[in-house]
Amino acid sequence: MSASKITGLSTRLLTLPLHRPWGDTVPENHVIVTDVSTEAGTGHGFSWTPTIGPRAVQALLDHDIRDFVLGRPAEPEVLWDLLWKHLHEAGGGGLTTIAMAGVDLALWDLKARTAGRSIADQLGRRQESAVVYGSGVNLHYSQDELVAQVQRWVAEGKQAVKIKVGKPDLAEDIDRVAAVRDVLGPHRKLMIDANQRWDLPAALRALDALAPFGLEWLEEPLRADDLWGYRQLRRSTSVPIALGENLHNIYRFRDFISAGAVDIVQPNIVRVGGITPFRRIVELARTHSIRVAPHLLPELSGQLALTLAEPVWVEDVEDAAFGQLGALTGASPVRINDGVLTATGAPGLGLDFVSALSRG
């Protein structure tokens, strides 16, 4: 039986104020809800960006992408390659792949809903649960606020946490990491994330000072494009290097893996273009014995984590899930209890976004 044809595409932009702003410049996140209509029904997907480009993403969807996909078969893996080739003149990643995710997620949602299955069961569930680690955009927190956040995660049963580093004075980073380690004790895992704040010499100095605190990984210490720098850094330390939230296609992941520049890849399912490319990147990593740790979006990445051959950790940023931000009409498709994520089994992606945010 041939796939049904795409008959329509509509979008709406939701701006979600964060309960805990990610610093002065990130008070909100943006979701571009994408509804794709076909002869067989409608699928619901989304694109996402914390700060930059939501209206540009929406414009790509409303014009270049809609015009291209109308009348084409609603088969996500086939359409993804055609659409990526079509949009490549505007860039092989970034705004283009973020926009593509809206269509890809909608088509996978429709495929699973039509079959009466959750996305995890549609793709093939391999895990019953996934471990969640506490994460926060907290470099602007005082040390007391940071310690209190980590104490909340410990009280919730989380066995691993990630904090931001990259203060102008390395001594302050040392004090903050030491305070967090005191709360965690020796057995819980501690990851640190520099969000591209260092160059190679600064990263090496920081690792000399911070490695003794028992780091599970150091995330994105250098600019995301600095392949040469990451290669040198990984050769110089025993601390695992994690990156990938700002790599936007499988070729960039291949470059970093082939160069021996990374230990853990962190694809963001939306930034790479959806479920279709995410699964390809996971298989690439698996063939090279590289760990995977999906970036953000626990309601989506948590469900996909249950489909992977190897257990992965799921990132849960405090008070930033879609359900917590009032973006969903119903319950979240995942539950997190005692540091463990399970799926409810809701059909499709299980993400039914509100028409508009309440301003009450």
Distances (CA, A) of 330 to 39, 280, 326, 334, 352: 26, 31, 9, 12, 7
Q: Cβ neighbours of residue 340 under 8 Å, at least 6 residues apart? A: 129, 130, 131, 132, 157
- 134 within 8 A of 191, measured Cβ to Cβ: no
CA distance 62 to 151: 45
Token representation of residue 178: 């030491």
Residue closest to 269 by CA, chosen among 228, 234, 315, 310:
315
Catalytic-residue membership of 111: no
CA distance 125 to 304: 9
Neighbours of 156 (CB within 10 A): 15
Catalytic-residue membership of 295: yes
Amino acid at 292: V
Q: Cβ neighbours of residue 271 under 8 Å, at least 6 residues apart? A: 93, 94, 97, 98, 101, 245, 246, 248, 295
Catalytic option among 30, 162, 164, 248 = 164
Q: Cβ neighbours of residue 300 under 8 Å, at least 6 residues apart? A: 105, 269, 270, 349, 351
CA distance 305 to 359: 34
Catalytic option among 30, 44, 158, 295 = 295
Distances (CA, A) of 257 to 88, 91, 173, 204, 251: 23, 22, 29, 21, 10
CA 99, 102, 104, 105 dihedral sign is positive
Work out whether strand 264-265 and strand 291-292 pair parallel, antiparallel, or are unpaired: parallel
- 90 within 8 A of 96, measured Cβ to Cβ: yes
CA distance 120 to 333: 11
- Residue 218 is given by DSSP the state E
Token representation of residue 112: 């699973």
List the catalytic residues.
164, 295
